[in-house]
Amino acid sequence: MLVLLDRDGVINEDSPNYVRTPSEWRPLAGSLQAIARLSRAGRKIAVCSNQAAVGKGELTMADLDAVSRAMTIAVTEAGGRIDGVFYCTHSPDQRCACRKPAPGLLLQAMTTFGAAASETAFIGDSLRDAAAALAAGCTSILVRTGHGAQSEASVRKIGIELVFDDLAAAADWLLRQC
C-alpha cells in the first residue's frame, strides 16, 4: 500500500506565513512515530503538498529543499522513511493540474510507485486534500490536526467518513486494514 501524506498540519505544525526554514519545521506529536510504524510495516510513504510560497516568490526551491531534508532526517531518526516528496510550487492563480484540490500530485506519486488508486490512501487536513483524493480515486482520510477540525463538516459533506484525531490514529487504522 502507498500512503500519501499532506505535510503542513498533518506531519508538522502549520504556519500562516509558511514553514520557511528547517528550524521552523516542527513535527506534530506522534507524527514521526506514525510514519515509522507505517514504514516498518512495509508501506511506501510519500508527501504530497502544495507549497505556493515558491510560486509567489516568498520561498526559494533551496529553502523548500532544506525543509524537506529536515523532515526526512527527523523521520529517519524516528525509525521511518519517506520514499518520495511531491510538491506543487505554483501559486493558486496559475490554475495548474498539480495544485490540490486537483489530483495531479497524487497521480504523479501513484505513477512513480506503480500503485493503483485502490492501493493508495491520502491523509490530509483540509477539504482540498479530501477533494484531491476523491479526484485521484484513492482512499481519503482526514485528520483533525492543522485545519482538519475546522474542515471536518465540509469534508463529511462530500462523503468522507474516515476522520481521525491525528496521523498516529490514522496510521493505526491503516495498519489494522491490511
Active site residue 6: yes
- State the burial class of residue 17 (Cβ atoms within 10 Å of its Cβ: 0-12, 13-18, 19+): exposed
Active-site hit among 8, 125, 129, 166: 8
Q: Which of 6, 63, 129, 166 is catalytic?
A: 6
Alpha-carbon span 19 to 87, nearest angstrom: 14
Catalytic residue status for 165: no
Could you give the CA distance from residue 93 to residue 49 in angstroms, rounded to a whole number?
17
Catalytic residues: 6, 8
